[in-house]
Structure formats: C-alpha cells, structure tokens
Amino acid sequence: MMDEKPTPSAPTPHIEIKFIPEAAEDYKKLDGSVRKPVNKEIEKLKTNPFAGAELGNKNNVNLSGFYKLYACNKSIRIVYRLLSPQKVEIVEIWGIGKRDKLEIYKIVGSRLNQS
C-alpha cells in the first residue's frame, strides 16, 4: 500500500460558502458596486478559509471562533465562522456591513443569541 501524502499539485478540497438567512439579507442590501469586491473576498475563502483575522471579544460581544475580512478599502466587514475548523468544508457567513464602529459585531452577536 502506498503512503498517501498530499502533493503540492493536489486539488484544493471543496469548501462550501453558506450564508445564514440574515447575512443573505445583508448581502442583498449591498449596492452593486460594493457586491463585486465583497464577492472577491468571499471567493478567497474557498481556497483559504483562514484568510480573515480571528475575532475574540469585541465590545462585550463574544465572537470567539469568528473571523473578519474587509472589502472596499476596509469600509465593509464580512464576519464568518468555520464549521468544523479541523477539516474545513463549510464557511458560514454571519454578517456583512459597513465598518461603522463595531455595529456589525453587535449585529452578529444578537444573531448568535437568537440561534
């Protein structure tokens, strides 16, 4: 039996991007000129789910296990988490919003409390 080690030319595992319903609504509300750079950042997650910076406690909102990505010259934040981070197969988007103080973090925190 051969030892199966990944090679540099091995295909990247398929990573699925999912939006929670509220984040899908956030996305729909984005202006068309904003969607293109947001899409570009979200696409990066398919090949590197760890592209974003880890979040922790933000203004008394516990977002441990979540990550953030920026789009549009850092004016838009994308907040997501990895389902089964040991073997990432799904990236779940929890919020997309303007970088207005910590508002998107508060929104995601309230969504967490409702789930």
Q: pLDDT for 95-113, tens place per residue?
A: 999 888 888 999 999 998 8
* CB count in 10 Å sphere of residue 4: 7
Q: Which residue has the tokens 């089964």?
A: 84
Q: What is the pLDDT of residue 115?
A: 76
Return the closest-CA partner of residue 67 out of 36, 45, 47, 35: 45
**54 membership: H or E segment, kind and range:** strand 53-54
Q: What is the pLDDT of residue 94?
A: 94
pTM summary value = 0.79
The residues, ordered by sequence, that sit 6+ positions from 18 with a Cβ below 8 Å of its Cβ are: 90, 91, 92, 93
The string over 65-98, giving b where at least 16 C-beta atoms fall within 10 Å of a residue's C-beta and e elsewhere, is ebbbbbbbeeebbbbbbbeeeeebeebbbbbbbe
Mean pLDDT of 51-60: 89
Residue-wise pLDDT for 18-41, tens only, equals 999 999 999 999 999 999 999 999
Per-residue pLDDT band at 13 (split at 50, 70, 90): low
In the predicted model, what is the mean pLDDT of the chain?
85
